[in-house]
Chains A and B, each alone.
Chain A
Amino acid sequence: MRIASSVTGESALVKYLLIGLALIWLAGFLLLPLIVVFVEALRQGVGAYLTALVHDDALAAMRLTLLVSAIAVPANLVFGLVASWSIAKFRFRGRNFLITIIDIPFSVSPVISGLVFVLLFGAQGVFGAFLVSQKIQIIFAVPGIVLATIFVTFPFVARQLIPLMQAQGIDEEEAALSLGASGFRTFCLVTLPNIKWALFYGVLLCNARAMGEFGAVSVVSGHIRGLTNTMPLHVEILYNEYNFVAAFATASLLALLALVTLGLKTLLERRGGRDVKI
């Protein structure tokens, strides 16, 4: 092994030079932005930090962000399970095409993801006249924010589950069914335990994006304080008002969410081993 690594490795000098370069790059581009958020948030002390967080508008933004993700994440969880069952456990024509369609929201600019809902439900939109006549408001209101969030997080759960369930095949389910279990029982007792880590992983990433989405939500929200302002939008408003401490304080909560997400993700990857796809 020693001999092999000497012909397929680099000299110690090159090695440490490369490690050093990589670490400097990561420190400058990833670590510094993270640190600056917390430093700016605490610039005027813990008191100012906490005052900014318990402001009514900040609390309203937190509530809305939690509400939106409490609707969008379960919706995509159920969809992900249903879609991956039909796509991964059965072979049918057009399967790969369907996977491509489900992946589309990943490759669409967040701003366009918001725009499409304005074109559908806005006052000048396809259903605009109907919605106005029924006095239903979707755009510049909470339903629009929820819809845009569901759109941008649409593929997260499904894309974790489909490759895994395809790889696992249907042998175990067939065995359970042939022993007399019902379809639902088979799903709960055989399929679900096999995919639980990938499912957690998908939900985790879905939630992080749902809570942090900015572009799409910005287009449909209308930025009404206390009503249609999510946390990322609140950050922008405060920043534009030069209220930097409050902006960075709210941002630091979102950064904490990101750190927790990364920590759990790393744990899950260790737990689920190779089941979880990056």
Chain B
Amino acid sequence: MNVAAASSRVFARAPSVLPGFGLTLGLTLTWTSLIVILPLAALFWRASGLGFGGFVDLASDARVVSALRLSFVAAIIGAAFNAAAGLLIAWVLVRYDFAGKRLVDAMIDLPFALPTAVSGLALAALYAPNGWLGAPLAQLGIKIAFTPAGVVVACMFIGLPFVVRQVQPVLADLDRSLEEAAATLGASRTQTIVRVIFPAILPALLTGFALAFARGVGEYGSIIFIAGNLPFTSEIAPLLIIIRLEEFNYQGATAIAVLMLLMSFAVLLAVNLLQSWSRRRTGGGRHA
């Protein structure tokens, strides 16, 4: 197998007695190239065909800008709520015992497990003006469904597990003797939390925030049912890609997709830097 032989040479590996390196790496590279690299290359190839001027024109279209702005701002606000609520929930799950704790812990992953179309449907039903939460909120004069606030609510739903699952293990591994030392040295409980515990979990919290944000920016299924999808008001960027595709405007769709990809790669890079920063600080080799 040519690919196998070539991959063995190119990826100069340390010697090992285990068999199958060439074959498995060859298959991995072939399959990864076909499924991941080729399709993404098609996207960037298509975008390069637009030329820089054409790309800027498509990207600076008012409707595109407003959709991208909504996706990013809603994702940031949603992730901020997730960071606060996720920190609280992780703290409660790690530090306190209460009835039904295991069930609650298992429930945290619900937004991961629930298909996005189902979450979208459920959120729309809950927050509609006649819904269980929508009706009381409407009496207070707050409209969630079919407004930009609905996008934020959907981001708050889908992003929560990212923060909890990042913070929870770090909080559980935290050495209690540090807190005892702080208390012995005369720190109040608040001082201990703010100056000893919080700095230790900050990298995990920021990672969780970034992951929740990235998910919110790209999210489609759980948002479109509750958002109302009014152009310039509650239309998110992924939906605009679909609308452009339905108009057979492949260039427009490509330009939005490339912009979103570049921005989420930037977020991913930030996450990796955060994680190496936290590894340097804690000196541990934790897998992210």
Beta-carbon nearest neighbor of A3 in chain B: B180
Q: Is B283 an interface residue (CB 8 A)?
A: no
Q: Is B157 an interface residue (CB 8 A)?
A: yes
Residues on the A chain within 8 Å of B241, using CB: 111-112, 115, 219
Hey, what's the 0/1 contact readout for B35-58 against A, CB within 8 Å counting as 1? Answer: 111111011011000000000000
Q: Is B235 an interface residue (CB 8 A)?
A: no
Residues on the B chain within 8 Å of A83, using CB: 24, 28, 31-32
> Given A86-B24, A90-B21 in contact, is the A112-B43 Cβ separation under 8 Å?
yes
Binds B, one of A51-59, A129-137, A192-200, A255-263: A255-263
Beta-carbon nearest neighbor of B220 in chain A: A215
Interchain CB contact (< 8 A) of B118 among A125, A170, A258:
A258
Cα distance A118–B21 in the bound complex, in angstroms: 34
Pairwise interchain contact B218-A109, C-beta atoms closer than 8 A:
yes
Cα distance A232–B192 in the bound complex, in angstroms: 48
Binds A, one of B91-99, B143-151, B199-207: B91-99
Cα distance A105–B278 in the bound complex, in angstroms: 25
Q: Is B209 an interface residue (CB 8 A)?
A: no
Most B CB within 10 A of own CB, among A119, A187, A211: A119
Pairwise interchain contact B253-A115, C-beta atoms closer than 8 A:
yes
Q: Is B27 an interface residue (CB 8 A)?
A: yes
Residues on the B chain within 8 Å of A93, using CB: 11-13
Q: Is A92 an interface residue (CB 8 A)?
A: yes
Residues on the B chain within 8 Å of A19, using CB: 92, 96, 98
Interchain CB contact (< 8 A) of B35 among A109, A150, A174, A211:
A150
> Given A111-B242, A115-B43, A115-B245 in contact, is the A8-B220 Cβ separation under 8 Å?
no
Most A CB within 10 A of own CB, among B35, B92, B121, B156: B121
Interchain CB contact (< 8 A) of B189 among A10, A22, A118, A254:
A10
Cα distance A124–B212 in the bound complex, in angstroms: 34
Q: Is A102 an interface residue (CB 8 A)?
A: yes
> Could you tell me which residues of chain B, from 191 to 241, have a CB within 8 Å of some CB in chain A?
192, 214, 217-221, 225, 238-239, 241
Pairwise interchain contact A254-B245, C-beta atoms closer than 8 A:
no
> Given A21-B88, A26-B107, A92-B13 in contact, is the A112-B113 Cβ separation under 8 Å?
no
Most A CB within 10 A of own CB, among B107, B114, B179: B114
A63 to chain B, nearest CB (A): 17
Residues on the B chain within 8 Å of A91, using CB: 13-14, 16
Hey, what's the 0/1 contact readout for A261-278 against B, CB within 8 Å counting as 1? Answer: 111011000000000011
A129 to chain B, nearest CB (A): 14
Hey, what's the 0/1 contact readout for B96-127 against A, CB within 8 Å counting as 1? Answer: 10100010111111111111111101110110
Q: Is B140 an interface residue (CB 8 A)?
A: no
> Could you tell me which residues of chain A, from 209 to 244, have a CB within 8 Å of some CB in chain B?
211-215, 218-219, 231-233, 235-236, 239
Pairwise interchain contact A82-B115, C-beta atoms closer than 8 A:
no
Residues on the B chain within 8 Å of A85, using CB: 20, 24
Q: Is B89 an interface residue (CB 8 A)?
A: yes
Interchain CB contact (< 8 A) of A90 among B16, B38, B46, B160:
B16
Pairwise interchain contact B11-A119, C-beta atoms closer than 8 A:
no
Interchain CB contact (< 8 A) of B45 among A86, A108, A126, A219:
A126
Residues on the B chain within 8 Å of A89, using CB: 16, 18, 21
A170 to chain B, nearest CB (A): 6
Cα distance A273–B208 in the bound complex, in angstroms: 23
Q: Is A18 an interface residue (CB 8 A)?
A: yes
Beta-carbon nearest neighbor of B248 in chain A: A124
Pairwise interchain contact A107-B122, C-beta atoms closer than 8 A:
no
Cα distance A23–B85 in the bound complex, in angstroms: 10
A127 to chain B, nearest CB (A): 9
Pairwise interchain contact B39-A33, C-beta atoms closer than 8 A:
no
> Given A19-B92, A108-B218 in contact, is the A116-B40 Cβ separation under 8 Å?
yes
Interchain CB contact (< 8 A) of A254 among B39, B118, B176:
B118
Q: Is A62 an interface residue (CB 8 A)?
A: no
Pairwise interchain contact B261-A108, C-beta atoms closer than 8 A:
yes
Residues on the B chain within 8 Å of A47, using CB: none
> Given A8-B180, A9-B95, A255-B114 in contact, is the A120-B39 Cβ separation under 8 Å?
yes
**Contacts A7-B180, A32-B132, A111-B238 given; 8 further ones with Cβ under 8 A?**
A95-B11, A112-B43, A122-B250, A125-B42, A183-B18, A183-B20, A205-B112, A266-B105
Residues of B within 8 A of A (CB): 11-14, 16-21, 24-25, 27-29, 31-32, 35-40, 42-43, 45-46, 85, 88-89, 91-93, 95-96, 98, 102, 104-119, 121-123, 125-126, 131-133, 156-157, 160, 165, 169, 176, 179-180, 183-184, 189, 192, 214, 217-221, 225, 238-239, 241-242, 245, 248, 250, 253-254, 257, 260-261, 264-265, 267-268, 287
Can you name 19 A-B pairs with beta carbons within 8 Å?
A: A10-B189, A22-B88, A29-B160, A30-B108, A36-B126, A37-B118, A79-B28, A86-B25, A87-B28, A110-B116, A112-B238, A112-B261, A124-B250, A170-B18, A177-B18, A219-B241, A254-B114, A258-B110, A258-B114
